């Protein structure tokens, strides 16, 4: 699989390809459905640039024993008007310098000091935004193990992991990737009411390209 070309005949220019992995804090019980656990907010220094999502992976691990069976699901939804960023319980990656570049000769990300963010021990809050009516991606994370002598299934002894799974991957024939304009974004949400006991840790991997004039003149 080849990267996007850096220049197209229609005048589009790819400024660079970027990839960032993050790990949350130990997310405390009990998260509610649709809590915000990770995000990107696209407010580039060049307002004509677009954010093109190539791949988004997420995984969960149990950091404090979960004793009651629940469903684990995450979704990803586009933000169309992201006027105020999440300000509470969020850890951001600075994209300054070479951080996240897939080639050192690429330009630094236009995200600057506020790159992808992930929650600490609570859901991210403090934002002002308008979400789409429905997510563009959803994934289930079964983590049930038979751990008793009689084979009784319980949810989540410490160390249970889902592994990283694709929430979104741009590899389908005819698929158009999510493409963000200024003041848009993507939020990863806890889709269902979460664990009532114990703690979970989230892992995310964002992979994207930054493009000028992707649709041509």
> What does the pLDDT look like over 65-80, one tens digit per residue?
887 767 889 999 999 9
> What does the pLDDT look like over 115-161, one tens digit per residue?
999 999 999 999 999 999 999 999 998 765 555 555 555 557 788 88
Sign of the dihedral defined by the CA atoms of residues 148, 153, 158, 162, in that order: positive
Residue 145's pLDDT is 58
pTM of the full predicted structure? 0.90
Residue 90 binned pLDDT confidence (cut-offs 50, 70, 90): very high
Domain residue limits, the chain: 18-212
First to last CA, the chain: 27
Residue 188's contacts (CB-CB under 8 Å, 6 or more residues apart) are 36, 37, 38, 39, 56, 58, 74, 75, 76, 167, 202, 204
> What does the pLDDT look like over 41-59, one tens digit per residue?
999 989 889 999 999 999 9
């Amino acid at each position: 699989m080849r990267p996007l070309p850096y220049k197209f005949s229609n005048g589009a220019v790819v400024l660079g390809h970027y990839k960032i992995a993050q790990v949350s804090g130990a997310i405390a019980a009990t998260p509610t459905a649709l809590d915000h656990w990770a995000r990107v907010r696209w407010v580039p220094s060049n307002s004509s640039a677009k954010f093109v999502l190539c791949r988004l992976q997420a995984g969960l691990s149990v950091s404090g024993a979960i004793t009651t069976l629940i469903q684990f699901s995450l979704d990803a939804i586009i933000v169309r008007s992201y006027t105020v960023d999440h300000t509470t319980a969020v850890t951001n990656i600075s994209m300054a310098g070479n951080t996240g570049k897939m080639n050192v000769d690429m330009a630094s990300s236009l995200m600057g000091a506020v790159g992808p963010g992930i929650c600490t021990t609570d859901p991210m809050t403090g934002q002002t935004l308008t979400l789409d009516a429905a997510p563009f991606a959803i994934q289930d994370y079964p983590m049930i193990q038979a751990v008793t002598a009689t084979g009784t299934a319980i949810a989540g002894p410490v160390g249970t992991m889902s592994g990283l799974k694709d929430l979104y991957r741009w590899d389908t024939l005819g698929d158009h990737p999510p493409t963000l304009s200024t003041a848009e974004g993507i939020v990863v949400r806890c889709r269902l009411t979460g664990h009532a006991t114990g703690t979970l840790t989230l892992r995310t991997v964002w992979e994207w390209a930054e493009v000028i004039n992707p649709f041509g003149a």
